[in-house]
Chains A and B, each alone.
Chain A
Amino acid sequence: MAEIIAALDEQGANTLLDTTIGLIPPQSSSGSENLGPFVAGYSVVATLTNGDVDLIPPDIIRLVDLRVDWDLDLSFGFDLSSILPDFCIPQICIDIPCVGEVCTPRICIDWPTISIPVSFGDFVKATGDFRLDISLVGGVWKVQAVIVGIPNLQFGATTALLLAAIGAAATPILLAIPFIGPFLAIAVNAILLAIGIAGVTGFLGPILTPFISGLKIPIYEQPKLFQILPAESPVDPRVDITIDLIAAAVAHNGAEDELVLTADVSP
């Protein structure tokens, strides 16, 4: 029989996970990913906030509405001519009094390659099931909640907002391009249509999912050799105990589900 038993109900587990998830520092990543037909370089920083805990026997901690707040800087470049037909100024003929007519040639403009930087932040919520994982590594017992599977992130209105941010970022860049002014709305729409909702989802999913899919939440950590009393004098040395075994489970106890940690100890 275990010598030490600690149990937390769902409310207690919520408080514990609020604290432990809050202690996870902001995570970041960078790289490149497809944004519709374009390739965008990005850097993203994400922080996690606990949702609601649902304890499910025998070993699942379900976090409902685990929140990921993220700030994203992305930049993508492309040849405008790939989405807009080239534009030609027609031949202009001007009548010069007493001289005659002077005509300029038809002059065609091909659009340049542009780069659009976008900064955007939002949050996404996910529900994930975590399984308890116990290990003894380097003389330290660790109990972690390790996510099971890959939660499906639902971006909802975020995709439309990011598309709007891309449109807003593109507008001043396009306005600086000679002769594009009358086609500005067409050009912005062409960019946004090329990316589309699917492009944004396909971009955000792969860069944000890893912040959750590999998530390990530390629940308990203790050296195997555990001091319970300090040394008081040369004849009264410190007292240690050894934690021989730790077990963790979700147990149904009466009307409540509880997160239960048990430890076997020896002097």
Chain B
Amino acid sequence: MLNTLDSRALQRADCYGQRFMKSGDYPYNIVPAHGALISTDRPFMVRVRDGDTKSGMNQHDVPIKSCAGRFEVPDPELVINVGDMVLWNCNDPNALPYAVVGDHEFFRSNRLVNESGFSHAFGTADDYHWIDAHGSGASGIVRVRDPGCKGEEDLKRWRQTIAKGTLVTINDRNVEPSEVEIVTGQTVFFLVTKGPGISIIDARLLYRSAEETGKG
């Protein structure tokens, strides 16, 4: 399975979350990664209505299924209240990397603008220097350590550890904390409160891509 850190190409251990702060209809599609500009179909809809905002933010999970190269959701029309968050994840082993793409500029998993998030469970121990492929200058480091499990007790401790997530908040170029240390299997939730439309990708992907196209 793929487990690269790239919010532009969501994979199995990734989630994309978006809060909707204004009422209205928000059509969207789920397309293979980097296919956002090709497809103009918007078969799915998030209907945001003015509701009881005092009850706080509710979360709505959308489990994506992959079927013969197409992405499907159980309910094409989701009705939520203003201020709620919708979280998309595709736990299908056969799914290609994908993006959630809406008509509104803020509603795109490949360019996180505001009140949005991207979570990634890190499957391999390494140092991940992440950057914004769209050039905002936001960056940080996630140090993923091997838990060094030698026995049952170690594994038990590790399981408890991976049940805890780590939050990284991005506000324009400000990243807080800019460096985090976790163990293999742990999840980092990158929360974008405000930004020009950023992505979170392993810098090596960008450099490798540049080298392959002769622009390195």
State the A residues within 8 Å of B (CB): 89-96, 99-105, 107-110, 112, 175-183, 185
- Is the Cβ of B189 less than 8 Å from the Cβ of A94? yes
Flag whether B46 is at the interface (Cβ < 8 A): no
A185-B167 CB under 8 A given contacts A102-B85, A104-B119:
no
| Contacting residues, chain A, for B12 (C-beta < 8 A) | 107, 109
- Is the Cβ of A178 less than 8 Å from the Cβ of B13? yes
Number of interface residues of B (CB under 8 A): 43
- Is the Cβ of B87 less than 8 Å from the Cβ of A181? no
- Is the Cβ of A104 less than 8 Å from the Cβ of B158? no
- Is the Cβ of A89 less than 8 Å from the Cβ of B165? no
B 82-113 contacts with A by CB, 8 A = 85, 87, 89, 91, 93
| Contacting residues, chain A, for B167 (C-beta < 8 A) | 94-96
- Is the Cβ of A182 less than 8 Å from the Cβ of B146? yes
Q: In the docked arrangement, what's the CA distance between A101 and B85, Å?
A: 10
The proximity string for B residues 1-19 relative to A, scoring 1 for CB distances below 8 Å and 0 otherwise, is 1110000000011010101
The proximity string for B residues 150-182 relative to A, scoring 1 for CB distances below 8 Å and 0 otherwise, is 100011001100111111000000000000000
| Contacting residues, chain B, for A183 (C-beta < 8 A) | 149, 155
A107-B59 CB under 8 A given contacts A182-B158, A185-B150:
no
| Contacting residues, chain B, for A92 (C-beta < 8 A) | 119, 163-165, 187, 189
Q: How far is the CB of A105 from chain B (nearest CB, A)?
A: 5
Q: In the docked arrangement, what's the CA distance between A100 and B117, Å?
A: 13
A178-B3 CB under 8 A given contacts A89-B162, A94-B189:
yes
Partner of A89, one of B93, B121, B146, B149: B121
| Contacting residues, chain A, for B85 (C-beta < 8 A) | 102
Q: In the docked arrangement, what's the CA distance between A179 and B12, Å?
A: 12
Flag whether B27 is at the interface (Cβ < 8 A): no
Closest to B3 in A: A178
- Is the Cβ of A112 less than 8 Å from the Cβ of B1? yes
- Is the Cβ of A182 less than 8 Å from the Cβ of B59? no
A94-B56 CB under 8 A given contacts A181-B125, A181-B184:
no
- Is the Cβ of B56 less than 8 Å from the Cβ of A100? yes
Q: In the docked arrangement, what's the CA distance between A105 and B12, Å?
A: 11
Those 5 A-B pairs whose CB atoms lie nearest each other, nearest first: A178-B123, A178-B3, A92-B165, A179-B123, A100-B57
Q: In the docked arrangement, what's the CA distance between A99 and B17, Å?
A: 13
A182-B1 CB under 8 A given contacts A94-B189, A102-B59, A104-B87:
no
| Contacting residues, chain B, for A107 (C-beta < 8 A) | 12-13, 89, 91, 121
Partner of A105, one of B15, B165, B166: B15
Flag whether B191 is at the interface (Cβ < 8 A): yes
Flag whether B39 is at the interface (Cβ < 8 A): no
Q: How far is the CB of B106 from chain A (nearest CB, A)?
A: 16
